[in-house]
Structure formats: C-alpha cells, structure tokens
Chain A
Amino acid sequence: MNLFKGVCIIFTASTAVMKIVSFILSAFISIALVHILNTKTLLPAPLGKLLAPQSGVWQNAENEEEPFSADLQFPNLNGNTTVYFDDRLVPHVFSDNETDAIFVQGYLHARFRLWQMDLQTLSAAGEVSQVVGDVALNHDREFRRLGMVFAAENSLKEMEADAETKKLCDAYTAGVNAYINSLTESTLPLEYKLMGYKPTLWSNLRTALFLKYMSYDLSSNEKDFELAAAHQYFDSTDFNLLYPVKQDSADPIIPVGTVFPAPSIKTIPPPKVDSAYLHGEVTAMEYEKPFEENGSNNWAVSGSKTQSGYPILCNDPHLGLNLPSLWYEMQINTPAYNAYGATFPGAPSIIIGFNDSCAFGFTNGGRDVRDYYEIEFKDSSRKEYWFNNEWKTTTFRIEKIKINGKPDFYDTVAYTIFGPVMYDRSFGGKRHTSSKNYAVRWKAHDASNELKLFYYLNKAHNYTDYVNASTYLHNPGQNIVFASKNGDIALRTQGEWPAKWPGQGDFPMPGTDSSYMWQGMIPQSEVPFQFNPERGFVSSANQRPVPPDYPYYLGREYPSSRGVMVNRLLNAKSQITPKDMMAMQNNNYNVFAEMLLPVIFKNMDVSLLSGNEQTFYNYLQKWDRNNEANSIGATVFALTLSKLKDTLYNDELSKAPEGALKPFESTLMEALLRDSAYKFIDNINTPEKENIHNIITRAFKGACIILTDLKTKNKLEWASFKDTHIDHLTKLPAFSRLHLPIGGGEHIINATKAVHGPSWRMVVSLTPQTEAYGIYPGGQNGNPGSKFYDNGIDKWVKGEYFTLWVMKKNEDKDNRINGKWVFKRG
C-alpha cells in the first residue's frame, strides 16, 4: 500500500496543471489499454474482447448438464416440428410436413456446424483468401480456374428447375439463414471469434458448392500430368512396365462371369493416336490434389448368410478425418418417410443411412472423369483458339478474389468448348506459370441434380425406388449399395461416366480439334450392377468395378487389396450377426503384406544382417500380417516396403521431370512376384548390376536405420509410428485429438491412416425392427467448447459402436431424451 500512498501524495500535492496533466495521461493509458486489448496491434489476439465473459469465448463454454428446451418461431414454417435431442445430442426431428423438416435440418446444421459449412463452401468457391489472406491465393485461383463456381451454377440451374428440389433447397437455405440471423456477438461460434470474422449468409448456390466440393474430393484424382511427366522421361516400354494398363483385377466389384450388354457407344480413337498423343513437355501440375486414399468399403449380405435371416448392410466411407467432423447424425421423421443416418452439414437429406424399409451406402467409383486439353490461342489476348480448322472465340469469366488485408485480385479465365483454361502463362498450379494452355473438361462441370438421389433414397421403399433414385447420381460416381427388409440386396456402380477409348485421358490431350473429346456418356441402361446374386452378398472397396470383358476403358489403377479381403471374409462367413460385421469393419489384416512377404523372405540375404537387423527381421517373420495398434511387425513391414519403393524407383525417378508419378504399390508387388529379373531392380547409378537379393536386403537395411531410431524414441509399435490424429480444420493442436492408439492402414479394411480413414462406420440389420449401429470420429457439436465435440473418438478408436436409436413418436418420455425444441410458424 505504501506505493499507492506515495502516488496519492504526489497527486494531492500537485497543482491544477499537474491535475490536468495527470488526468490526460491516465485517460490516454485507459484508451491505449482498451485499444491493445481490443485489437491485434500489440498482442497476438484481442485478449479483452476474447475473454470478456458476457460476449467473448466464455460464452462458447456450453452448459450441457441440464436438460434444455426451446420454443422457436419462424414465418417460413408451414406446420409443427418437434426436435428431441438424445444423450449424444443426436436430433430426432418429427415434422408434420417435409419442407419444415428440411428447414429444421438447415437450422440444426447451422446451430451445430455453421463455421465448417461456411469455411468448406468458401473453400469450394475459391474464397478463402478473404478470411485468411493471400496464403490461400493459389488455392482460390486453382479452384476458380477449375470452374468450381461454374460447375455449381450449372448444377444449381438444374436443381432449381426441378420444383421438388427447389423446395428442398429453399427450405434448407431458409433454415440455415434463420440461425445465422439469430446470432449475436456472444453466440457467434468460437472460431469466428478467434479468427475475427463473421459468417456470410447461406444460399442455394452454397449448397451446390458444397456438393461440388464432394465432387472435387471424390472425382478429381486422375494422374494426367503426373503420368505425362513420367512419359517425358521413360520410353514406352519402360513406361508400360512402370504404369501398366491393367484391365484385369483379382476380384472386381461386379464378378467375373457377368454378362454385359453390347456397348451402345462405339468409341473411335483418333487417327495416329500413339504418335500424336504425347507432346513432350508437361508445363503445369495441380497445386492441390484431394487425398489419394479417398475410398470406402460397403457391402450387403442377404438373409441366406445372416443369423436373423434378414439382410445386413454395412458402409464405412474413408475420407480425410477432421474436427468438426464431416458428418452430422440425425433422424428425420415426416409423413412421407422416416430416415436415419449421417448427413452433410451443407446439404439437405440423410446421405448414408436407412429408413423403415431399406438401407443405403456409398463407396467411391474412382474412374477418371477429369481430362486436360492443350489449347492453342491465336495470340496473347486469348480471345481466339484454334479448333476444327478455324479460330473460335473464347468467353471470359473475370474472377474477383477478395484478400484479407490486401487489394482484390482479379483473375481472367478463358472458357473454351472443353471448359475453362485452368493453366496458362498466368497460373500453372505447382509450376507457377505454364507455357502451354490447358483447358479442363470435368464431369462435375455438367448440370446434374444429386440432391434428388438422396431425397429419393430417404423415401425409398424397395429395389425399384432405389434404382430410380440411383439414376440421379451423375458425379461423383459411386458404388451404391442397397438392402431392404423384403430381403433384396443390390449394388450399382453408378454415375454418368464418359465412354472412353483405351488410353483416352490418361495424359493431357490435344485440344485443336474434336477428335480427342469425349464421345458420349455411357447410358444408364449399361451401368453394371448386381441384384440378389447367388453368392449371397454384394460388396465394393474401390477396386476395379468390372471384369476385363466390360466394353469401356476404365483407366489404369484401382486399389485391390481391401476388396480381396472383404470378399474373402464374406465368402467364408455364414450365420452373420451385426457384431461380426462390426468386427469386419475393424479388421486389420493386411492382404498386401500377405502377398508381398513371401518375395521378401525368399530373397533376403540373412547372412548380411547385423545382430540388430536380425532382431527386426525376427519381428517381420513372426508378424501375423495384422496391423494391430501394438504390432511391431507392421511397422517393420511398412518401412521395408517404403524403402523397397525408393530402392527400386528413385534412381530413375530422380532423373524424370518433377512431379512424375511414383509407380503404384500394386505394380511393384506384381512385378516382383512375376519377374525376379524386373528391369528396375538394377540401380542405374551404380556400376554393378543389382539383383533382387541385393535390393531387398539393401531396402531392409535402410529400414533398419529408421527402426533403430524409432526404437530409441519408443515408437516401434504400429499405432505410435503411424500416429493417427484428427485435426481441427485450423490445425490448432488444442482443438485436435492427437496420437490415437488405433491400428489399420492402407490396403486394410480398417483403412485408418495418419489423417484419413473410416469417417462413419455403419452396420444396419434389416430385421422387422431395424437394428442399427454407427459411429464417427467426432461428435455432434462442432464447438470445441462442448463435451459433444469429440465424444465419439475414443469409442471409434476401440472399434466400438453406438446403438442408433430410431425414435418413435410415442417415446417422447424416454430417459435418453435430454432436450426438446419446438418449431412453429410465427
């Protein structure tokens, strides 16, 4: 207190002038302090604004102990809707009309997931720079130039031309905006407060953009530039050894023996395709690519193989794992349908789920539906391009990109008959600028109305309804699995696929005439499917969809191991229960290792291994081929495989242009199994001629160096080596879940990798009283300040499931109900 006494004495002793000076000084300090605490000028965050208990982040600390209720009134509503929240915060929506149910779905999505919906659609539209600044400029330019908004606008036109879909979209948008308009400073989601911006209103276009984001994620992973870059260096013989066209597959989705109708489209390759196709240098490369591993498992077993005598349907889509999760679980009950399942915040309807009659699920089709064409402009104005022996006029789309803290960036994109010119002198993706002009032809550019697929599946009663619903899926093409309580099971390799001649679109193609263009879409009547097959199950795991006698070209590579394992297990099983199916979705057996290990054991020069290396070799020999969380053998195998790839191919690839494709692991395995004198075994940088013993031993010794290091860090076990983590979309570690002790991995049914894996596991037994189980690695509330933010993760890691409660109207007194919202017109 002495200090303050001193201060007081000084003040009381001061003259009038001193008083004024003191006041001004003190007032200045006050204002400066408020300014500092309200902005980022001095501090990394506006601490005062953030921590003020009545409006800052404390308001996002949700009180979730007490039961809650609310009465909400909106003028857009037609009737009454009641939402019951259960003990996992899953909403059970009971509505007396369909439109209101979708309004409420939009409202719920916004209430619990607004920030991610907003960010994902900004990202889809190439508008991230307006939030985070010019670090996202390349992303934004690439997405604009790919024509994401162009694609969404095209689809929106078709969606809004359909009265039913327009009603869905309008109701959904109204619901999202009803919530956004109710927001105050204090109820703003946490991320907006931390990043210092506000949400923008929803629109039907943003729903279309969200769907195009899924199209991007699932149908833009072709390797055209990467393959062309490889072809620049390798001659045709070597190229075909490294990247073979395999029309064969061990176990296609539609089994061998299926009879296909004669193709109605006879594709005609252009004249001299072999010599004219490749033009040497590749001058562009995508700045971003979706996860290569995006894929999934789904299957349905018929009653003949189950204990109950009724079908069981299973699905686990493998996608990037993030918090807040991509999925939001809910039940929607209307007079027209009663559906339950996983929904996409950003789009109406249940996406993967079931209703009172049947269940449905998806895996990615994975065919190449994005091709590039080299455009020759007349001059640098890009106003005209050469096509079919004449100069054609381009149209321009001027993209205005807002950048946080910087002036707007304008990007003028030329549009041709193929599509937008994605890469040119001004933008070359990873290559910065491109001396060639590449237009992109992408199936997602075409108008389509996928919302109708989901809407009709939600209402489906039987196989006919399912087939009808499926025809609305054009892009991204999916394997749609179906099972119904009447005993039917089915799977369609659905999508609107371009009919291609062999090799079409493997590389960027000439764009100076129409000869390399797509010659038509495979008609819906030729979509390969299975309906109640004799083997008693249907399945897909992203493997090649059809056997080699299918009449259309399907591209080079499809992952096959998961499909082999799924079919092996399903063939062997009978008297199947939902529990068996859960165990199968969590199966960690590595078929790829099973096939490759004999080559490794046969050719390892054990006499050259040191004592330390011998210890690791023993782990490999004793390994049961299961990538369990605590398995050391799995780590030894993964590193050996990785080093083997490097040893085989890096000597050649390091001489090829940057970005050249690494050969697929399946190619490596098949080459080594078939041919112990495989050409690439020799290291071209050494004078000696290596044999298969040399390179396998060398690869293993290389792996042992890393293994020794891992051992000292205590990270030898598979889960700690793989290090699965689920990041918040901002990558802030405090909001992420790190170091999850979970097994699985690539080539494995439980496809859990570091940041990617089963994003929703679902098992539905179609008994008269539906028995369903599901889980996703996240939680219903996207707010990191909620206990429902990540409450599914630990159970998901353990391979456990929640029982999915299909609530009945008269169960409103059930003790699982923790909250109730009533929506009325008002």
Chain B
Amino acid sequence: MKFIVALILSALLSYAACLFLPWWSIAIAAFIVAFFVAQKPGRAFISAFMGLFILWGLMSYFISSHNGHILANKISMLILKSNRPMGLIILTAFIGGLVAAVAALSGSLLRKIFIK
C-alpha cells in the first residue's frame, strides 16, 4: 500500500512542482515523499522510479500522439540517431524515473538516520 501511495504521491508532487519550478524539482518531490512515507530504501527507489516513469512516459506519449509524433520523429533522429518516437518516449520516462529514484533513495536514507 505504502508503495502505491509513494508512487502516486511522487508523481503528483512532481507534476505540481514542475508547474512552477525547473524540471529537476522532481528530485525534490521524490526526496520529500521518500522521507515522509516510510519504506525500505530499495522500495522507495522503485516506487519513485515507477511514479516518474509512468508520469513522464504518459505525458510525453499523449503530447506526442496529439502531434502525430512529428516532433518525436525529428528529435529521436537527433538524440537516438534513428527515427523512433517510442524510443524517445521511453528515454524520457527513464530519465524522469532515474532522477526521482536516486532522489527518493536519498530521502529514504535520510529518514533512516533520524527515524529508527
């Protein structure tokens, strides 16, 4: 249950933070969620990863499909050197997930110092 709560909370808080703050505020969001929602560090890592992977993955997928993947085709040519819009969406999701995951790991580890 906590896993799902942490996953959803880190996604929601990240989305809200990015309305006002730079993209890397997802790290702060995931860190805060992991600090307050008691989970083992490994689970904190995975829940944050999944939360942001799903959030960024879905957002970029919906944006891209309403655009007929025109932009994704071109940017994937630039970044992935091949025409793979889905590849770009997965890369986006993975980057969001990874940043949130390491931040959540840090949050969880900080919690362990203060709260036994």
Contacts and interface: CB of A to CB of B under 8 A. Distances in A.
A263 to B, nearest CB: 57
A57 interface: yes
A5 B68 CA distance: 42
B113 A51 contact: no
B27 interface: yes
A16 B59 CA distance: 40
A58 B58 CA distance: 12
A59 B41 CA distance: 33
B46 to A, nearest CB: 7
B84 interface: no
A26 B92 contact: no
B79 A33 contact: no
B92 A33 contact: no
Interface string A41-71: 0000101110111111111111111000000
Interface in A22-49: 22-23, 26-27, 29-30, 33-34, 37-38, 45, 47-49
Contacts of A789: 70
Contacts of B18: 52, 54-55
Interface in B8-50: 15, 18-19, 22-24, 26-27, 31, 40-42, 45-46
A732 interface: yes
A639 B74 CA distance: 35
A49 B23 contact: yes
A23 B56 CA distance: 26
A733 interface: yes
A27 B113 CA distance: 13
A52 B71 contact: no
A700 B42 CA distance: 74
A157 to B, nearest CB: 43
B78 to A, nearest CB: 5
Contact of A53 (B27, B60, B103): B60
B106 A48 contact: no
A53 B63 contact: yes
B62 to A, nearest CB: 9
A53 B53 CA distance: 12
A635 to B, nearest CB: 30
A61 B24 contact: no
A34 B109 contact: no
A65 B66 contact: yes
Interface stretch (A110-118, A158-166, A780-788): A780-788
A62 B92 CA distance: 18
Task: Please classify how large the interface on chain A is, using the bins under 10, 10 to 19, 20 to 34, 35 or more.
Answer: 35 or more
Contact of B23 (A4, A55, A787): A55
B99 interface: yes
B42 A4 contact: yes
Contacts of A51: 56, 60, 88, 91-92, 95
Interface in B94-116: 95-96, 98-99, 102-103, 105-106, 109-110, 112-113
B5 interface: no
Contact of B64 (A12, A61, A65): A61
A816 interface: no
A48 B68 contact: no
Given A4-B42, A52-B96, A55-B18, A22 B56 contact: no
A16 B113 CA distance: 7
Interface residues of B, number: 45
A735 interface: yes
Given A30-B27, A55-B23, A734-B77, A61 B72 contact: yes
A23 B7 CA distance: 21
Interface string A512-529: 000000000000000000
Interface string B66-89: 111011101101110000000010
A23 B102 contact: no
A29 B103 CA distance: 9
A26 B109 contact: yes
A784 B69 CA distance: 11
Given A19-B113, A735-B74, A787-B70, A33 B102 contact: yes
Contacts of A33: 98-99, 102
A265 interface: no
A8 interface: yes
A786 B72 CA distance: 11
A733 B70 CA distance: 15
A62 B68 CA distance: 9
A16 B99 CA distance: 26
A789 B113 CA distance: 55
A350 to B, nearest CB: 29
Given A4-B42, A33-B98, A59-B63, 18 more contacts: A20-B113, A26-B109, A27-B106, A47-B79, A47-B91, A48-B23, A48-B99, A49-B22, A51-B92, A53-B59, A54-B15, A57-B75, A58-B63, A58-B64, A60-B71, A61-B70, A194-B78, A784-B71
18 contacts: A4-B46, A30-B27, A48-B23, A51-B56, A52-B56, A53-B60, A53-B96, A55-B18, A55-B23, A57-B71, A61-B67, A61-B71, A62-B67, A194-B78, A734-B75, A734-B77, A734-B78, A787-B68
Interface of B: 15, 18-19, 22-24, 26-27, 31, 40-42, 45-46, 56, 59-60, 63-64, 66-68, 70-72, 74-75, 77-79, 88, 91-92, 95-96, 98-99, 102-103, 105-106, 109-110, 112-113
Interface of A: 4-5, 7-8, 11-12, 16, 19-20, 22-23, 26-27, 29-30, 33-34, 37-38, 45, 47-49, 51-65, 185, 190, 194, 732-735, 784-787, 789
